[in-house]
Amino acid sequence: MKISQLLGLRFKETPADCQITSHALMVRGGYIKNVGSGIISLYAPAKRIMQKIEAIIRDEMNRIGGQEVMLPVVMPAALWKESGRFDSVGSELLRFKDRGGNDMVLGMTHEEAVVHLVRGAAPSYSHYPFMVYQIQTKFRDEPRARAGLIRVREFTMKDAYSFHTSQEDLEEYYEECHKAYERIFARAGLPEAVSVKSDSGMMGGKVAHEFMLLNDVGEDTIIICASCDFRSNMEAAENIVEKPAGSPDEASDRHAVAKALEGAACPACGKKAITAKNGIEIGNIFQLGTKYSEAMGMQYTDKDDNLQYPIMGCYGIGVGRLAASVCEARHDKFGPIWPMSIAPWQVHLCALMSDTPEVSEAAAKIYGGLLKAGVEVIFDDRAVSAGVMFSDADLLGCPLRLIVSPKTCQRNAVEFVSRDKTLKIDLPLDLGNIDGLISAVNQQIVKQMEFSLPVLRL
């Protein structure tokens, strides 16, 4: 891809409505464009990042036996009336009528649709256990849509649903899924993500975990023990200390609770080592039980010919929120520092003073060689200053950069640097044979991808 043809403007000034870094950088870097409150379009760089995250998720879901399906975005309300959620869920569920006057909903989660899909398709115990998942658009009518891709109304989500004939089997699978989630976040560039026990709220189950990126911009508060591995979210931790009475304002109330919890005794180890931290929720897993299978009449015949309700688990990851969270955790003041596994392009090729014949010839040859070798490369072929070129490259955040200039051509070399500044070398340039140069670039890509290879994470 040539940057002269890439859509999306890049600029210096932080827009007034961007309160967090990832939002500002993704607007300034030409990744996203706001369409309406919590409704966002993606330009190519963001779409490419999302596709790579989806590929990692798909790989890990398939590896734990998932089968990918597709459920509808628009559903008849009748389906949600079966589970009772048409009435019990608040206004975050968008309800409307179709042209025939029928009540409809926009999918914000898909338990009903998935039970509808598999109901009747797994009539015997021999069909169990199984897991289905999809990567789909969801709509949740959030009152406080903000922070770019972190809190939106329309978003892409991976949601998975498993079905079991015993609680033990669900628990075993839940554990496997927990491990798959750890691999997904590590491979996407967030190995520091932690899971915390949570209150499963409206999902209606008992055991649940949220995966969190600890970060000051996060809207969730996590209770952590500095002495052992006890972690919990606020709701589940309320039994640790009494909630301070008073404040009706949710945010300041939470702040007060967090403050009250500092230094409290840990329920696991007993030491007075509890601290409260902010976090961004990047995934969650729930043991749902039989809530949906019972409500919607999904049954199977067990070994003794008795009818039973399957026990369900469900597992979600917001793809865009994960992308924004990586940006939140991996950036400098100039732009995102995307990990190789999800970077929009692997290599950013800059041709400085490309009106110089040696530069344009060398850059064109390297560009062609990289494309031929299957390297994902964005080529800055514009006649712009080095300052503009480098600040744009910083905003696009590709992990590796090749710089061709009259100076590098003079010393028969190409500058090879990494976005994270750990690499800065000259690669010898021989226009008669650029194979060595291409292979040096490829070796560096392989090296930077190592952390994300599935085989290393098994």
Residues at the site binding Zn ion, with contacts judged by CB under 5 A = 225, 227-228, 230, 266, 268-269
Identity of the residue, 74 or 268, whose beta carbon is nearer to Zn ion in the bound complex: 268
Report residue 430: phi and psi, to 5°.
Answer: -130, 105
Identity of the residue, 40 or 225, whose beta carbon is nearer to Zn ion in the bound complex: 225
Q: Least distance (Å) from Zn ion to the CB of residue 225?
A: 3
**Separation of alpha carbons 31 and 19, rounded Å:** 17
Identity of the residue, 230 or 338, whose beta carbon is nearer to Zn ion in the bound complex: 230
Q: Least distance (Å) from Zn ion to the CB of residue 237?
A: 12
Contact 146, 20 (CB under 8 A): no
Q: Least distance (Å) from Zn ion to the CB of residue 228?
A: 3
Identity of the residue, 70 or 226, whose beta carbon is nearer to Zn ion in the bound complex: 226
Identity of the residue, 268 or 425, whose beta carbon is nearer to Zn ion in the bound complex: 268
Identity of the residue, 14 or 227, whose beta carbon is nearer to Zn ion in the bound complex: 227
Identity of the residue, 114 or 222, whose beta carbon is nearer to Zn ion in the bound complex: 222
Contact 3, 379 (CB under 8 A): yes
The conformation of residue 283, written as its DSSP 8-state character, comes to: E
Q: Least distance (Å) from Zn ion to the CB of residue 227?
A: 5
Q: Least distance (Å) from Zn ion to the CB of residue 218?
A: 21
Report residue 69: phi and psi, to 5°.
Answer: -130, 180
Instruction: Outline where 129-216 has alpha helix (H).
Output: 167-187
Q: Least distance (Å) from Zn ion to the CB of residue 402?
A: 49
Q: Least distance (Å) from Zn ion to the CB of residue 271?
A: 6
Sequence-ordered list of residues with C-beta below 8 angstroms from that of 60, at least 6 positions apart, any chain: 180, 181, 183, 184, 187, 454
Q: Least distance (Å) from Zn ion to the CB of residue 220?
A: 20
**Separation of alpha carbons 147 and 18, rounded Å:** 7
313-to-222, 338, 360 alpha-carbon distances in Å: 23, 32, 57
- Find tokens 């990567």 and name the residue: 135
**Separation of alpha carbons 46 and 338, rounded Å:** 11
Identity of the residue, 204 or 267, whose beta carbon is nearer to Zn ion in the bound complex: 267
Q: Which of 352, 282, 273, 361 is nearest to 323 (CA)?
A: 282
Q: Which of 46, 225, 55 is nearest to 149 (CA)?
A: 46
Which CB contacts under 8 angstroms, 24+ apart, belong to 243-246?
A: none
Measured CA angle at 298 (ends 292, 299), to 5 deg: 130
Identity of the residue, 18 or 264, whose beta carbon is nearer to Zn ion in the bound complex: 264
Q: Least distance (Å) from Zn ion to the CB of residue 35?
A: 46
